[in-house]
Amino acid sequence: MFDGYDLIVYGSAVPALLAQPGWDLTPAEVGAIGSYALLGMLVGAISAGWLTDVLGRRRLFIGCLAWFSLMMLGAALAPGPEMLGVFRFLAGLGFGGIAPTAIALVVEVAPAARRNLLNAVMLAGFPVGGVLAAILAVGLLEPYGFRLLFGLGVLPLVTLVPLALWLLPESPQFTRARTRPANPLRGDVATSALLFAVANFCGFLLVFGLNTWLPQLMRLAGHDLGSALGFLLALNVGGVLGGLAGSGLADRFGARWVATVLFVVAAGSLGLLAMPLPIVLVYLVVAVAGAASVGNQIVVYGYVATHYPAGFRATALGFTSGIGRLGAASGPLLGGLLIAAGFGLGANVGVFAAVALLGAVVSACVPRLARRVAPPVAPLGQMQYG
């Protein structure tokens, strides 16, 4: 939840950053600063994914959590846009490490028949954090500015870090397979990793492009600030519901086709946003778009995690999500460039819809791994590896 809040709150703060006295930021510059955290996530995801398979899930989770909390405090106190960009990049190192570490841990302690669903319950905290960011921005942004919203990101340091030190277990599978992780980039494993990286690129571009620019796009389309932030709320509520429902279906029917279908639904719903619709339908379409983009990223994470064995699961998660973070960095930058060039809601959602269709194609094309490469994961208490 805090990971999602700290990332998505930047989009809620965009109107205040554009209006910040003395900073004179353009939409393209605000989009670039928004991308810095996501570039940091690329480095953090790849590094932490590999380190998690070497040092353990628990250590990396706690370290990344403490790190990004401190960096959010630095962002809140930044004296200018340059230092804001520096602290957002540094926070991104921690943001990037959280996902592969937490996903690997949850998947490895969950019963085999519910791995996707329980992973989604954990990852649902991300869009919940987005909902929280939107709600707090409605009440706090205009009277208090962006610094308070960023400063709330330090709360994990005094809440979750002590709890994790006390309660968080290590993965039993990691304990039993404490060998140097195998190289996942061979044969069908290489093909699947590259396709997953593209799927993550598409998913992250949608998630962060929409979360960064949806409020401003809806304002350009004629909605006031309160309504625009309300659409951000609808997007992330849809993301929570879509992630849980989609992951439950993935446990039953397989993540491949659930991820593929949701990408197609995302393209269709984004296309509908360019049409004149009654306000109630606009909110509904935004929620569906959130379910099929923010929610689908949860499904894609589970798709990757259940595709690989424990020995290099976190490495694969880190690699594919790390490369995918280029999409996360591209989303805010692309939206800023399109708006700066004078393009409005229709052009932006059209580009995002095309990205969603690409995600559908690559998700459907991921090859299945041979049993010797990807052995099934036994329920807790019956785990064997090797």
How far apart are alpha carbons 50 and 60 in whole angstroms?
Answer: 10
Token pair for residue 20? 């910040």
For the segment 250-271, what is each residue's pLDDT rounded down to a tens digit? 998 989 999 999 999 999 998 8
pTM of the model: 0.76
**Among the listed residues 310, 261, 274, 268, the one whose alpha carbon sits nearest the alpha carbon of residue 289:** 268
Pair 12, 215: CB distance under 8 Å: yes
When pLDDT is averaged across residues 191-195 and rounded to a whole number, the result is 89
> Phi and psi for 169 in degrees, rounded to 5?
-85, 165
Instruction: Say which residues have a Cβ less than 8 Å from residue 284's Cβ, sequence separation at least 6.
Output: none
Are residues 321 and 297 in contact, defined by beta-carbon separation less than 8 angstroms?
no
Do residues 93 and 40 lie in contact, with contact meaning Cβ atoms separated by under 8 Å?
yes
DSSP 176-194: HT-SPPP---SHHHHHHHH
**Which of 89-98, 194-203, 328-337 bottoms out in mean pLDDT, i.e. has the lowest?**
328-337
As a whole number, mean pLDDT of residues 213-218 equals 77
| Mean per-residue pLDDT, 350-368 | 92
CATH superfamily of 2-365: MFS general substrate transporter like domains (1.20.1250.20)
Most confident listed range (43-47, 64-68, 261-265, 373-377): 261-265
110 vs 226 pLDDT, higher one: 110
Report the mean per-residue pLDDT for the chain: 83
Provide the 3-class DSSP secondary structure of residue 342: coil
Structure tokens at 123: 């990852």
Highest mean pLDDT among 11-25, 185-199, 254-268, 294-308: 254-268
Identify the residue whose tokens are 């330090």: 154
Q: Is the pLDDT of residue 134 over 90?
A: no
pLDDT band (50, 70, 90) for residue 40: confident
pLDDT of residue 200: 93
Q: Which of 23-37, 149-163, 181-195, 257-271 is predicted least confidently? A: 181-195
Q: Is residue 182 helix, strand or coil?
A: coil
Q: Quick one: pLDDT at residue 365?
A: 92
Q: How confident is the model at residue 172 (pLDDT cuts 50, 70, 90)?
A: confident
Q: What's residue 381's pLDDT?
A: 38
Q: How far apart are the first and last CA of the chain?
A: 35
Alpha-carbon gap, residue 112 to 75, rounded angstroms? 40
Percentage of the chain with pLDDT > 90? 23
Distance CA 242, CA 239 (A): 5
DSSP run (H or E) holding 18: helix 2-19
- Report percent pLDDT > 70 for the chain: 90
- Token digits for 359? 């995600």
pLDDT at res. 288: 94
With cut-offs at 50, 70 and 90, classify the pLDDT of residue 386: very low
Q: Who's near 354: CB < 8 A, 6+ residues apart?
A: 267
